[in-house]
Chain A
């Protein structure tokens, strides 16, 4: 087994996950002979131990009692129909269909209209008991009820401008984004044009910090 092949099995081997026995034996054999893979496997096993230790230490963790109290209170306040909501739509739909069917049978035929509506009665008949006349009215109401959409203020942002630190950090290593206000002159530091008249103003920016608090990248926001 090559070093590359064992790499694919390392995680499962270290986690004692199900690995085909022949492959497992060959991988362990290789790890004994190859110091690099042996060290890799040992490190992965230590990591597994650390994770399991954390998992065991957290077993007692649970939500404080006040959460149950709040939930019980919310449960009591929940109106019964809401708790049964899973069934209500079906019941309501069944009722509506039944009512529409009765209406369809009982109501006298509509008087002839001077201007016939576009679809012929055959189309209506195919749609069976649904109260065809009601639908457009409902739709009109729905349109009226729709809230006006207020467009959310959009932010315009520059691309992230990297701040080189020459230590091999990459965004995958994690970090945090912090919104800050900077003097407008800071734009110039990153090669962006600065309006001299507005230099005393402040501009918003998002700074990306690595977990050790070092500045890694910046983008400007308007």
Chain B
């Protein structure tokens, strides 16, 4: 007896999808698209890039099924890995262009819709300030902050995903956070 796609594990879903079961592919996509999309959005700061990356990641899963090796890590880690490569490619491709300011990607309306408007506003400002500081980091520092601090990926998983030593992840994160504090301090000084 086979289980429903919604109850199945990632690898089961992938196997069924590769056997032609579209519903399993859809369940797998719905289960994992958000973390891929958020990763790309937080890395690039642009919804258009996040959308493109999410699409490419799942297309790549269907088109190159033999590239995923469960012995080397989970499907989620594999998806992060492909997403990372695509994001870096997009950043490289777009580096000659000065981006026209897009609308803020995160819908901030829900921050100010509660009773404590002032506190929500402060929270919104803090988030925006952190977001700007993270986006200004060089990509190799940005990715460790996004993975370890925003997606709570362990140092070990991040190291295998980024193809570097665990100590490198630690030291990059330490340095990246130092840079973030400096940037945020500078922004605050500029606003005062």
A20 on the B face (CB < 8 A): no
Is A174's CB under 8 angstroms from B136's CB?
yes
A26 on the B face (CB < 8 A): no
Q: Select the residue from A51, A63, A70, A83 with max chain B CB neighbours within 10 A.
A: A63
A5 on the B face (CB < 8 A): no
Residue on B with the closest CB to A172? B138
Please pick, from B51, B149, B183, the residue contacting A63 in the complex, using a CB distance under 8 A: B51
B5 to chain A, nearest CB (A): 14
Is A71's CB under 8 angstroms from B18's CB?
no
Is A44's CB under 8 angstroms from B37's CB?
no
**Interface Cβ pair total, 8 Å cutoff:** 136
Is A62's CB under 8 angstroms from B34's CB?
yes
Q: Using a Cβ–Cβ cut-off of 8 Å, how many residues does chain B contribute to the interface with A?
A: 61
A202 on the B face (CB < 8 A): no
Q: Which B158-182 residues have a C-beta within 8 angstroms of A?
A: 170, 173-174, 177, 179-181
Instruction: Report B-chain residues with C-beta under 8 Å of the C-beta of A67.
Output: 33, 51, 54-55
A148 on the B face (CB < 8 A): no
A211 on the B face (CB < 8 A): yes
Please pick, from A58, A64, A211, the residue contacting B106 in the complex, using a CB distance under 8 A: A58
Is A53's CB under 8 angstroms from B130's CB?
yes
Is B127's CB under 8 angstroms from A50's CB?
yes
B80 on the A face (CB < 8 A): no
- As a 0/1 sequence over residues 1 to 15 of chain A, the CB contacts with chain B under 8 angstroms (1 = contact) are 000000010110011
Q: Which A76-90 residues have a C-beta within 8 angstroms of B?
A: 76, 78, 80, 82-86, 89
Q: Select the residue from B36, B37, B105 with max chain A CB neighbours within 10 A.
A: B37
**Interface majority SS (helix, strand, loop, mixed), chain B:** helix
A181 on the B face (CB < 8 A): no
Given contacts A47-B130, A51-B149, A53-B123, contact A63 B50 (CB under 8 A): yes
A130 on the B face (CB < 8 A): no
B73 on the A face (CB < 8 A): no
A189 on the B face (CB < 8 A): no
Q: Using a Cβ–Cβ cut-off of 8 Å, how many residues does chain A contribute to the interface with B?
A: 49
Instruction: Report A-chain residues with C-beta under 8 Å of the C-beta of B25.
Output: 71-72, 75
A103 on the B face (CB < 8 A): no
Given contacts A71-B59, A172-B138, A173-B179, contact A61 B131 (CB under 8 A): no
Residue on B with the closest CB to A83? B18
| Complex Cα gap A211–B101 (Å) | 13
Q: Which A21-62 residues have a C-beta within 8 angstroms of B?
A: 43-44, 47-55, 57-58, 60-62
Given contacts A57-B127, A61-B37, A74-B59, contact A174 B138 (CB under 8 A): yes
A178 on the B face (CB < 8 A): yes
Given contacts A83-B18, A83-B19, contact A47 B41 (CB under 8 A): no
| Complex Cα gap A61–B51 (Å) | 11
Instruction: Report B-chain residues with C-beta under 8 Å of the C-beta of A63.
Output: 33-34, 36-37, 50-51, 54-55
Please pick, from B41, B138, B170, B183, the residue contacting A61 in the complex, using a CB distance under 8 A: B41
The 7 tightest CB contacts between A and B, nearest first, are A86-B66, A50-B130, A62-B34, A174-B136, A63-B37, A63-B54, A55-B150
Q: Could you jot down 13 A-B contacts, CB within 8 Å?
A: A10-B174, A47-B130, A50-B127, A50-B130, A61-B37, A71-B55, A71-B62, A76-B22, A86-B66, A172-B179, A173-B179, A174-B136, A211-B136
Listed in ascending order, the chain B residues whose CB lies under 8 Å from chain A are: 17-20, 22, 25-26, 29-30, 33-34, 36-38, 41-42, 50-51, 54-55, 58-59, 62-66, 95-98, 105-107, 110-111, 123, 126-127, 129-131, 134, 136-138, 145, 148-152, 170, 173-174, 177, 179-181, 183-184
